[in-house]
Amino acid sequence: MVLETIHDFFGDNTELAAKHRYRIFQVLENIIFEATQIQDDWGERFLLLALDNMTVETELEDIYQDAASNVLLAMCKHSWPLVASKIEEDFLNGIFPHRSLLYVMGVLYQLLTPTQRACWQEQLIQMGARSVQFLAEDEWAKALMFAITKPDRTYLEQSPEKTFLFIYYGMILRAANNSAMVRKHLKLLLETSHHFAKQREGIALTIGLTAERHLDDAWAVLDQFGRTGHLKRTLNNYSLKEEEDTKWKWASSTILLSYGQMAAKAKENIFPWVDNISSRMVFFFRNSNWDDTLKQSFLEATLMLVGAISRNEGAHSYEFTQVPELVDCLMVLIKKEPQDTLCTTTRQQVMRIVSGLCKLRPHLDSKRKSKVLFTCFQSVYKLPLVETLEKHTCLLADPPDIQVTRLPNPGLITPNKLLFPLCRIFPLPCFIFFILFPLLAFSIYFVVL
């Protein structure tokens, strides 16, 4: 009865102000979402009502369109295949999808169960394959690039429509069979701005999805982009013009994230490429103008690379010669962590990555293993600098009343886990003594305490 009344009210009051229709859409969304069941005929009617209003231009702009889109999303609880099929029709009509359709697809994935997500991903692969033809149409391709480069409403987080757009673009390029076209579009994508974090992550995701079927092309475009043009001028032996800074300053971050996404999406096919990817990651680590953005991108990319290798059993049949170079870069990072803070996210990430790298072939030599252990333990156990202690001398005159409880220190968990992968390969007493000997100083320190 309530749904029928709302539906009839919309039909009888076509001139109703947008602000009132917006409020009704909010109520309708809650009713549909909380309902235990919606009859098929009523579901069909409200799907059409939402679709008709999702693209309407009003003074409320995106807010009104999102309210109508949320009604469509609420219907996913009762019949998500019907919703997905209706949206797919609009995606494949030859006209570039409206922002609201991208918004719905961006939010839809979060609402589905694991089983439904598997079906949704398969449907998305098919949509990508059927959309390849549109890349050859100038108007559609220009609309795509405009939507990719359009600034988000907020720079702190990416809109659902932009997030999905990068996925959709990657699925289209993944399905394409024309290598030249794939390279052209990846190059165009890399020529866009790299200023905002979400934009860099989106570009990397598109490249990773493309690499599932076009690993050679993705590698070639990234390699060329990294060696020439704008990105080369961001390296520390060049000076970047002020007007170019915001667009290209963190292009190296995009490249690092792209290598990580390539590894994550290509799965076991990445093994022959690991050394090449690792060497380029090490190059950007050592030659880029370094800051927290580049540091975090390097860590995320390395985590994705190690994760992709670790998840595939075939890794034991490959030798990854760049592992020592990656470990050296990670040791540089951990040495730069603040000494007056015992546990940091970077320390945890670095030691987790090193633990995974130590399991790969060829195994690190005993000297390097010993150095790794010493650096990681020193980073966790080392006392603060004297200068840091002097800043707090006021505490000596009026010491605070602190209740000390002995709890496991989260910063010590990962160093302890490092011992097993480092010692398990050659568990001979003399070998273990050699790599653990530098830790003797820490043992004496705790005995004294």
Do 344 and 440 lie in one domain? The reply is yes
199 & 315 share domain: no
User: What is the average per-residue pLDDT within 418-435?
Assistant: 58
Residue 327, in any domain of the structure: yes
Q: What is the pLDDT of residues 167-183, one digit of tens each?
A: 999 999 999 999 999 99
Tell me which of 110-124, 192-206, 212-226, 249-263 is least confident.
Answer: 110-124
pLDDT bin (cut points 50, 70, 90) of residue 103 is very high
Residues 325/278, Cβ–Cβ less than 8 Å: yes
- In a domain? residue 395: no
Amino acid at 218: A
pLDDT tens, position by position, 302-322: 999 999 998 888 888 888 999
pLDDT tens sequence across 381-400: 665 555 665 665 555 555 54
Q: Are residues 257 and 284 in the same domain?
A: no
Residues 257 and 288 in one domain: no
Domain that holds residue 218: 120-229+253-262
Query: Residue 114: its pLDDT value, please?
Result: 84
Q: How far apart are CA 226 and CA 101, in angstroms?
A: 35
Q: Is residue 247 part of a domain?
A: no
Q: Is residue 181 part of a domain?
A: yes
Instruction: Tell me the per-residue pLDDT of 68-90, one tens digit each, with 9 for 90 and over.
Output: 999 999 988 888 888 888 888 98
Number of structural domains (the chain) is: 2
Do 286 and 327 fall within a single domain? yes
For residues 318 and 225, membership in a common domain is answered with no
> Is 91 domain-assigned?
no
Q: Residue 449 has what pLDDT?
A: 46
pTM assigned to the model: 0.85
Is 298 in the same domain as 442? yes
Residues 416 and 336 in one domain: yes
For residues 67 and 24, the answer to whether their CB atoms sit within 8 Å is: no
DSSP 87-136: HHHHHTSSSPPPHHHHHHHHHHHHHS-HHHHHHHHHHHHHHHHHHGGGGG
Q: Is residue 190 part of a domain?
A: yes
| Shared-domain flag, residues 347 and 307 | yes
Is the sign of the CA dihedral 36, 40, 41, 46 positive or negative?
Answer: positive
Is 344 part of a structural domain of the chain?
Answer: yes
Domain shared by 334 and 434, yes or no: yes
Same domain, 289 and 422: yes
Backbone angle region of 189, left / alpha / beta, with phi > 0 → left and psi within -120 to 50 → alpha: alpha
In a domain, 46, yes or no: no
Q: Degrees (nearest 5) of the Cα angle 250, 334, 407?
A: 125
Those residues whose C-beta lies under 8 Å from the C-beta of residue 417, and which sit 6 or more positions away, are 351, 355
How far is the C-alpha of 222 from the C-alpha of 281, rounded, in Å?
11
Indicate if 341 and 429 belong to the same structural domain: yes
